[in-house]
Each structure stands twice: as C-alpha cells, then as structure tokens.
Amino acid sequence: MTTTTIGRPVTVTRPPVRKPARWASRRARGIALTIVTWIAVLAFFFPVVWMVFTAFKPESQAATLPPTFAPDFTIDRFQAAFDRDMVPYLINSASASIGSTLLVLALAVPAAYALSIRPVKNVRDPLFFLISTKFMPVAASIIPVYMLLQAVGGLDNITWLTILYVGINLPIAVWMMRSFLAEVPREVIEAAQIDGAGLRTEIFRVVLPIVLPGVAAAGLICFIFAWNEFFLANLLTTQVARTTPPVLGSFVDGRGQFLSILSAASTIAIVPVVIAGWVAQKQLVRGLAMGAIK
C-alpha cells in the first residue's frame, strides 16, 4: 500500500532542501495515505453506525426499499429491549467477562514469565500444550461439558460459565503475554536482579510496566471474547445466568421484524466493550509514551 509507493529515504539529520519533485511526491504520498485512511475508517464505521442509526428507527422503517434515511426517530426500540429484561443479562455478561479476564491475567502473566524471561526447560512443550487445548471444537466438547455440569448442578450458573471462559481465554493470554515479555530488554531485568530485586519486585515493578500495552491488549481480547461469547452461553444458560449474546440471538426470530430491536439491543451491548476498549487504549498509549525505556 503506502509503504511500497516510494522507498526514498528521508533524511532526518537536516531538513532537506525541498526540491519541487520530491515535495510533490511527498505530497502525493500524503494524499494517498489520507485516502486509504478514510476508506479504512469508512469500512469499519459504516456497519456499526448503520446499526446505531437503525436502532432509532421504528421497526417498519428498519428494512425498506430504498433504505429510509430520514426515519421517524424513536427510542421506542431501546425501551422495548429494556422491557425484555436486558439489565440482568448485561450484569451476567459483565461478571463473567470481568471475572474471567482478571483471573486469566493473574494466571497468564506468571505463566508467560516462566515461558520467556526465565524459561523452564523445553519451553516449546508447555507452549504447545497450551495452544493445543484450543484445537478441540467447542461444538463437540460441549456434550461432555453439558453432561458434567448437569451432574454437578452447574447449568445456568454464572460461576461455571466464568470458569469455562478462563479455560478458553487462558492459552491465548499466555501466548500473547509471552510474545510481549520476550521483547523486554534483557539488560533491564538483569539490572534489576543485580540491584537485588526479588521475583515479585521484578515482575511487578520492572517487567509489568514495560509490557503494559501487551497486558492491555491481552486483557481486551479476553474481555471482548467473553462478552460476545455466544455458543456456550446459549447452550449452558437458560434464565438465571443468561448473558447478552444469546438474548440478542433470541431477538432474531426469522420473521423480518426484528432489525430495529436487535440493533437497539446490540447498541446497548457494545457500550461496555467500547468503555473497556477505551480503558485499554489509554494503557496502550501510556505504554507507547514509555517506549523511551529502551
């Protein structure tokens, strides 16, 4: 894309005397970059913006030919979504997502440390074991899991769902954290060790601040995954522990009159993710600013 257009090195030491040709090509590159950016922005925003827009339409104007661009704005569909008891489901989703994410991070950081900075022998074997737990299709392992939960009375139980989410996200988090920890400059750790830092100090005061962007990224992926997880939640919960995604699914009744209410409910459902993303994003940026440690 833009990277391939011009391979001309840009001198950093001295502001170059701008020859017109170079100036023009730079400008062309700048314009190309801007165009590509806006295409990307449009591609990612459009479906979401359209969804939010649809959420404010009455059901009869949600899917029309041609599309209605000036609908009778109404918050009626949000009302309807809340009338179907969205709040308890949102709370369930929140506890399963936040709970599993915190647990996963607490387990993943030490594990990743033991797989990168001070590695166990044969790092590859535990790493491979971790990722291989993700090979089994959930569509198949759901059967024994269902029967087990039935036997121990764990169906429709948010704690069990949280535990399952830990199992699903933990390998991802460990792998990701490990790849970030592997980039931590060895000198920094050695300096800390020479200064007599204990293991805890080393992890919490030295390593973690450096890889905070990585923690943020791993935490965000775990949170979003758990928040949007449909399959397990749909089969293993019914009422008490029901989370939001299966509820969204229940709006889709196949009769064509659900687009607005689904959009409204989905809009409600993405708000917490956007907030979580915002929190993580701040960490990402802070981590960036700290890039100076290198």
Partner 1 sequence: MSSLATEPAAPPASVSSPPRPRRRRRLPTVPWLLLSASILILGVLTGYPVVRMLVMSFQEYERAQVMGMPAEWVGFDNYTAILTDSAFWAVLGRSILFMLVAVVLTMVLGTLIALLMMRLGKGLRLLVSVGLLLAWSMPPLSSTTIWGWIFDTQYGLVNNLLTRFTGERWFGHSWLLDPLGFFTILTFIIVWGAIPFVAFTMYAGLSQIPGEVLEAAQLDGAGAFARFRLVMLPYVRTIVTVLVVLSMIWDLKVFPQVYALQDIGGDRQKTNTIGVYIYQMGMGQGHFGTASAIAFVFVAIMLLLSIYYVRRTMKEEEL
Residue 265 half-sphere exposure, CB side, CA atoms within 13 Å?
Answer: 26
Residue placing its CB nearer to partner 1 in the complex, 74 or 281: 281
Dist. CA 85–CA 239, nearest whole Å: 11
Among 31, 35, 120, 240, binds partner 1 (CB under 8 A): 120
Part of the chain binding partner 1 (CB under 8 A), chosen from 10-18, 19-27, 75-83, 84-92: 10-18
Torsion sign across C-alpha atoms 42, 44, 47, 52: negative
Part of the chain binding partner 1 (CB under 8 A), chosen from 70-78, 81-89, 94-102, 128-136: 128-136
CB 67 within 8 A of CB 78: no
Residue placing its CB nearer to partner 1 in the complex, 216 or 241: 216
Part of the chain binding partner 1 (CB under 8 A), chosen from 16-24, 38-46, 70-78, 151-159: 38-46
Q: How far is the CB of 131 from partner 1 (least distance, A)?
A: 6
**Interface mask toward partner 1 for 42-81; x: CB under 8 A:** -xxx-xx-xx-----------xxxxx--------------
Which phi and psi (to 5°) does residue 42 adopt? -60, -45
Q: How far is the CB of 72 from partner 1 (least distance, A)?
A: 18
Residue placing its CB nearer to partner 1 in the complex, 74 or 221: 221
Size of residue set near partner 1 by CB under 8 A: 125
Residue placing its CB nearer to partner 1 in the complex, 9 or 15: 9
Dist. CA 150–CA 145, nearest whole Å: 8
Dist. CA 112–CA 180, nearest whole Å: 9
Q: Is 170 exposed, middle or buried (0-12, 13-18, 19+ CB in 10 A)?
A: buried
Burial 62-75 (b: 16+ CB within 10 A, else e): beeeeebeebeebe
DSSP designation for 206 = I
105 binds partner 1 (CB under 8 A): no
Restricting to residues 135-194, which ones interact with partner 1 according to CB under 8 A? 135-145, 147-148, 163-164, 166-167, 170-172, 174-176, 178-180, 182-183, 185-187, 190, 193-194
Restricting to residues 183-242, which ones interact with partner 1 according to CB under 8 A? 183, 185-187, 190, 193-194, 196-199, 213-214, 216-217, 220-221, 224, 228, 230-231, 235
User: CA torsion 230→234→240→243, rounded to 10°?
Assistant: 10
Residues 6+ apart with CB under 8 A from 115: 123, 126, 127, 174, 178, 181
Among 133, 159, 238, 257, binds partner 1 (CB under 8 A): 133
Q: How far is the CB of 25 from partner 1 (least distance, A)?
A: 13
Q: For residue 243, what are its two tokens?
A: 């989370």
Among 105, 130, 161, 226, binds partner 1 (CB under 8 A): 130
Task: Please work out, in degrees rounded to the nearest 5, the angle formed at the alpha carbon of residue 279 by the alpha carbons of 213 and 94.
Answer: 115
N-terminal to C-terminal alpha carbon distance within the chain: 29
Q: How far is the CB of 229 from partner 1 (least distance, A)?
A: 9
